[in-house]
């Protein structure tokens, strides 16, 4: 009797044999369930696409929000991203990391949206304060954190789309330089240069806003 060592696909898991253990070109072990979903979507399985959307909806919306600074705009961008994902998934290379590919679509969609519909709408502080306070966090701490977040969000507006994208991906999303280079389709040294310039410009803008706020007191 053969021992099930985890490499023999079960009939009910929807996986092809080559999907059980799959690594991308950069050595990253892709989730076999994601590969199975992608394969089913390529076969026009709408239920599989909906499951793929549910897996990545939060990450896409969060990245879009950090890029444009507005919840409603982030929702619109998320819709655009998943429509583009559906129609372009047939061109996705399974040897690449799916999340990297999806992030590239999100960044490009956010940049296009930001350029076309640039707005200066931000969530009112009263609306933000009306949300439930997370357990273990004081109202004072929440207020200070939201105040700092608002300052950073507004300061990000001075960055160019590429500077903003790279700053968000590295300093807010925590991605590695190599992955950002893949997402942005530029050399790693260029990513580092844009990141350096973005940090300098952002620090200067934050300092300027703090001085202006202090002068009003």
Domain termination site, one of 72, 90, 120: 120
Number of domains in the chain: 2
* SS3 state at 65: helix
pLDDT 10s digits, 104-142: 999 999 999 888 876 444 443 334 334 444 444 444 444
Residues 99 and 158 in one domain: no
| CA-based max dimension of the chain | 80
Bridge partners (DSSP) of residue 23 are 29
Greater confidence, 141 or 34? 34
Instruction: Tell whether 23 and 115 lie within a shared domain.
Output: yes
Window from 48-52, 120-124, 190-194 with minimum mean pLDDT: 120-124
Alpha helices, DSSP H, located in the chain: 32-42, 46-68, 71-88, 98-116, 125-129, 139-155, 161-167, 177-184, 188-215
Both 109 and 190 in a single domain? no
Q: Do 109 and 24 sit in the same domain of this protein?
A: yes
Between 147 and 45, residue with greater pLDDT: 45
Please tell me what DSSP assigns to residue 133. P
- Domain check: are 115 and 35 in the same one? yes
**Does residue 174 carry a pLDDT above 50?**
yes
* Boundary residue ending a domain (120, 151, 166): 120
97 in Cβ contact with 24 (< 8 Å) = yes
Q: What is the pLDDT of residue 183?
A: 94
The domain in which residue 84 lies consists of 19-120
Does 206 reside within a domain? yes
Give the count of beta carbons closer than 10 Å to the beta carbon of residue 38: 20
Tell me the CATH number at 203. Answer: 1.10.10.10
- pTM for this prediction: 0.71
The residue behind tokens 């306070």 is 133
Residues 114 and 25 grouped into a single domain: yes
Residue 37 covered by a domain: yes
Q: Which of 91, 120, 149 represents a domain boundary (last residue)?
A: 120
150 and 177 share one domain: yes
pLDDT of residue 60: 96
Average pLDDT over residues 93-113: 92
């Amino acid at each position: 009797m053969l021992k099930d060592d985890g490499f023999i696909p079960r009939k009910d898991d929807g996986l092809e044999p080559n999907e059980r253990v799959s690594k991308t070109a950069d050595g990253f072990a892709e989730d076999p369930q994601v590969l199975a979903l992608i394969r089913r979507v390529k076969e026009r399985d709408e239920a599989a696409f909906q499951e793929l959307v549910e897996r990545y909806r939060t990450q896409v919306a969060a990245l879009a929000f950090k890029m444009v600074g507005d919840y409603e705009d982030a929702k619109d961008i998320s819709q655009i991203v998943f429509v583009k994902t559906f129609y372009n998934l047939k061109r996705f290379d399974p040897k690449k990391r799916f999340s990297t590919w999806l992030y590239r679509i999100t960044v490009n969609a956010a940049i296009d949206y930001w350029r076309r519909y640039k707005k200066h709408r931000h969530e009112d502080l009263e609306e933000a304060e009306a949300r439930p306070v997370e357990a273990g966090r004081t109202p004072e701490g929440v207020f200070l954190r939201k105040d700092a977040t608002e300052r950073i969000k507004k300061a990000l507006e001075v960055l160019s789309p590429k500077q903003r994208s790279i700053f968000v991906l590295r300093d807010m999303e925590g991605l590695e330089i190599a992955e950002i280079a893949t997402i942005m389709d530029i050399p790693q040294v260029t990513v580092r240069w844009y990141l350096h310039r973005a940090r300098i410009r952002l620090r200067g803008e934050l300092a300027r806003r703090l001085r202006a706020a202090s002068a009003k007191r």
